[in-house]
Structure 1
Amino acid sequence: MKRQKRDQTERAFTKGYQAAIAGRSRSLCPHENGTARHQWLNGWRESRIDQWDGLNRAAQVQKLSQYQLQSQPH
């Protein structure tokens, strides 16, 4: 069976979260407007908040992988 593609908004959130982990600026968001941009910025913002709260990169990657597992259809 083919694997379902992930929702684009979920992918945008994940990519934004990963961009912040890598230290990239939010001005580098690849989306011009719309829901994908909103979700990318939400992911970026959540990652930065996690950094400020003391999560290191390894903990952030683990949190992101848990988020992805929870949002997959069963």
Structure 2
Amino acid sequence: MKRQKRDVTSRAYVRGYRAGLSGKSRDICPSETGDIREHWMSGWRQGRSDFWDGYQGVSGIHCTPSRP
């Protein structure tokens, strides 16, 4: 069964969101410059915001990362 390739920017956003939600530093961003870094950082900011608001574990199930 073939799988469609996912958009690289949306994948970067989701990975940044997961890093922010788990409380990791933004210094671990895999890209130094470019569009991918921007999407990763915006996902990280949203994840970090949800982390500070207490959306972890069971209380964070309804918070699915979606692109703005």
TM bucket by the smaller chain? 0.7 to 0.9
Q: 1:30 to 1:61 in 2, by over 3 A?
A: farther
Q: 2:36 corresponds to which residue?
A: 36
The gaps in structure 2 that reach 5 residues or longer are none
**Per-residue CA shift, 1:50-71, capped at 9, x if unaligned?**
1222322334354226x39xxx
The one-letter amino acid of 1:35's match is D
The gaps in structure 1 that reach 5 residues or longer are 69-74
How many angstroms apart in 2 are the aligned matches of 1:43 and 1:61?
A: 16
The one-letter amino acid of 2:10's match is E
* RMSD, aligned α-carbons: 2.1
Greater helix percent: which structure?
1
Q: Check whether the contact 1:21–1:60 (CA below 8 A) recurs between aligned residues.
A: no
Report how many aligned residue pairs link the two structures: 67
How many angstroms apart in 2 are the aligned matches of 1:13 and 1:36?
A: 8
How many angstroms apart in 2 are the aligned matches of 1:28 and 1:51?
A: 17
User: Is residue 60 of structure 1 aligned with residue 64 of structure 2?
Assistant: no
Q: 1:32 to 1:49 in 2, by over 3 A?
A: same
Q: 1:26 to 1:32 in 2, by over 3 A?
A: same
